């Protein structure tokens, strides 16, 4: 079995339309064929796992075939659920006459740009932590580049943010202890909630940064802009210690494609492929040809997956 499939978590990233969903599905299928219990999760709002497998996949885990399960996460639903959890958490902690105001504030915060990312991230964290013991491999089909990177760097950012909150809470609590003057530390449910979140993030961070357990793949096509974008994306990922070891170079014109027009195109493509091999010489390249048709059924996906698991 291919080394990639031996990991526990795989993230597949890249621009829209390059073949992330197809690659994720192909990897997940190959893993399932190798008798590993596999979960394929889509976090891209433009879901198409359902189309690929010609079944309805939604927010609940759906069995696709033997050993293969899928799930599509919807950021709007997640944001709603997330805000409700926050409200529930706070319900017992604030004065009852303040509840309406607090809920209003939470709703306002929920409409801010970072909220849906935070919610999506929360779900992603839960999936990794809850399912990793039940599945041999979890494959995440992620949204286009920038989004994925922000999502993956969140544990770090959230860690710092929570640390700041914890410190402030600690100071306030110390202050109360002194005021009450009985020397007993005050019980602070908010502090406990924050502490629990921090521990959860730390746990997932350990998994995401462990090369043995987690792998990152980027999909690109042999063209000028995708090369530049991938270079930048990898730089950012590296800065966050998220090492992308595999690049899937998809939709390469096959040798058998003939005609003068294609010959010219292939010439150009050759120079891009050469560039890709040079620029990304420190990564493993998985080259996949352009198929005659879209990858829309099991048979084509199977053929596609043979390139990924060579």
Ligand X SMILES: Nc1ncnc2c1ncn2[C@@H]1O[C@H](COP(=O)(O)OP(=O)(O)O)[C@@H](O)[C@H]1O
Q: Tell me which residues touch ligand X (CB under 6 A).
A: 14, 16-22, 48, 250-251, 288, 290-291, 294-295
> With contact defined as beta carbons under 8 Å apart, do 208 and 2 qualify?
no
**Per-residue H/E/C for 99-141:** HHHHHHHHHHHHCCHHHHHHHHHHHHHHHHHHHCCCCCEEEEE
Q: In angstroms, what is the minimal distance from the CB of 274 to ligand X? A: 20
- Residue pointed to by tokens 């997640």: 78
Strand order in the sheet with 214-220: 62-65, 68-72, 38-42, 137-141, 9-14, 214-220, 244-252, 284-289
Residue partners of 168: CB distance under 8 A and separation at least 6:
none
Residue partners of 170: CB distance under 8 A and separation at least 6:
191
Q: In angstroms, what is the minimal distance from the CB of 294 to ligand X? A: 3
Decide which of Mg ion, ligand X, none touches 125; Cβ closer than 5 to 8 Å per partner kind: none
DSSP per-residue codes, 18-32: SSHHHHHHHHHHHHH
How many Å apart are CA 97 and CA 4, to the nearest integer?
55
Q: In angstroms, what is the minimal distance from the CB of 18 to ligand X? A: 5
Decide which of Mg ion, ligand X, none touches 13; Cβ closer than 5 to 8 Å per partner kind: none
Q: Which lies closer to ligand X via its Cβ, residue 22 or residue 75?
A: 22
Q: In angstroms, what is the minimal distance from the CB of 24 to ligand X? A: 8
Task: Name the DSSP letter for residue 4.
Answer: G
- Residue pointed to by tokens 């009450």: 180
Q: Which lies closer to ligand X via its Cβ, residue 152 or residue 204?
A: 152
Q: Which lies closer to ligand X via its Cβ, residue 218 or residue 280?
A: 218
Alpha helices in the chain (DSSP H): 20-33, 49-53, 75-91, 99-110, 113-131, 145-180, 189-208, 224-239, 260-279, 298-308
Q: 122 is written with which tokens?
A: 């929360």
Decide which of ligand X, Mg ion, none touches 250; Cβ closer than 5 to 8 Å per partner kind: ligand X
Q: In angstroms, what is the minimal distance from the CB of 261 to Mg ion? A: 28
Q: Which lies closer to ligand X via its Cβ, residue 118 or residue 221?
A: 221
The residues in 31-70 that bind Mg ion, with binding defined as CB under 5 A, are 44
Q: Which lies closer to Mg ion via its Cβ, residue 9 or residue 18?
A: 18
Decide which of ligand X, Mg ion, none touches 153; Cβ closer than 5 to 8 Å per partner kind: none
How many Å apart are CA 231 and CA 31, to the nearest integer?
28
Q: In angstroms, what is the minimal distance from the CB of 88 to Mg ion? A: 33
Q: Which lies closer to Mg ion via its Cβ, residue 15 or residue 20?
A: 20
- Residue pointed to by tokens 């040809």: 289
Binding mask 3-32 for Mg ion (x = CB under 5 A): -----------------xx-----------
Q: Which lies closer to Mg ion via its Cβ, residue 16 or residue 189?
A: 16
Q: In angstroms, what is the minimal distance from the CB of 44 to ligand X? A: 6
Decide which of Mg ion, ligand X, none touches 298; Cβ closer than 5 to 8 Å per partner kind: none
Decide which of ligand X, Mg ion, none touches 16; Cβ closer than 5 to 8 Å per partner kind: ligand X
Give me the residues that bind Mg ion (CB under 5 A), please.
Answer: 20-21, 44
């Amino acid at each position: 079995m291919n080394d990639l499939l031996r990991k526990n978590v795989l993230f597949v990233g890249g621009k829209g339309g390059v073949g992330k969903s197809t690659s994720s599905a192909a990897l997940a299928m190959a893993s399932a064929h190798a008798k590993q219990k596999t979960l394929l999760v889509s976090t891209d709002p433009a879901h198409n796992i359902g189309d690929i497998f010609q079944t309805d996949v939604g927010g609940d885990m759906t069995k696709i075939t033997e050993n293969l399960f899928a799930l599509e996460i919807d950021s709007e639903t997640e944001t709603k659920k997330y805000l409700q959890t926050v409200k529930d958490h706070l319900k017992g902690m604030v004065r009852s006459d303040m509840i309406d105001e607090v809920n209003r504030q939470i709703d306002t915060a929920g409409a801010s740009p970072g909220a849906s990312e935070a919610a999506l991230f929360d779900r992603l964290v839960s999936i990794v932590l809850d399912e990793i013991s039940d599945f041999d491999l979890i494959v995440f089909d992620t949204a286009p580049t920038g989004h994925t990177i922000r999502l993956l760097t969140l544990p770090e950012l959230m860690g710092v943010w929570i640390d700041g909150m914890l410190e402030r809470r600690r100071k306030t609590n110390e202050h109360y202890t002194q005021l009450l003057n009985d020397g007993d530390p005050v019980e602070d449910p908010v502090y406990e909630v924050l502490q629990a979140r921090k521990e959860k993030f730390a746990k997932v961070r350990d998994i995401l940064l462990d090369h043995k357990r987690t792998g990152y793949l980027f999909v690109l096509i042999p063209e000028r802009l995708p090369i530049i974008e991938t270079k930048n994306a990898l730089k950012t990922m590296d800065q966050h210690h998220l090492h992308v070891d595999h690049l899937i170079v998809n939709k390469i014109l096959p040798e058998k494609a003939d005609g003068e027009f294609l010959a010219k195109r292939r010439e150009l493509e050759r120079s891009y492929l050469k560039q890709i091999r040079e620029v990304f010489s420190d990564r493993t390249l998985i080259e996949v040809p352009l198929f005659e048709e879209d990858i829309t059924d099991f048979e084509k996906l199977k053929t596609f997956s043979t390139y990924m698991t060579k």
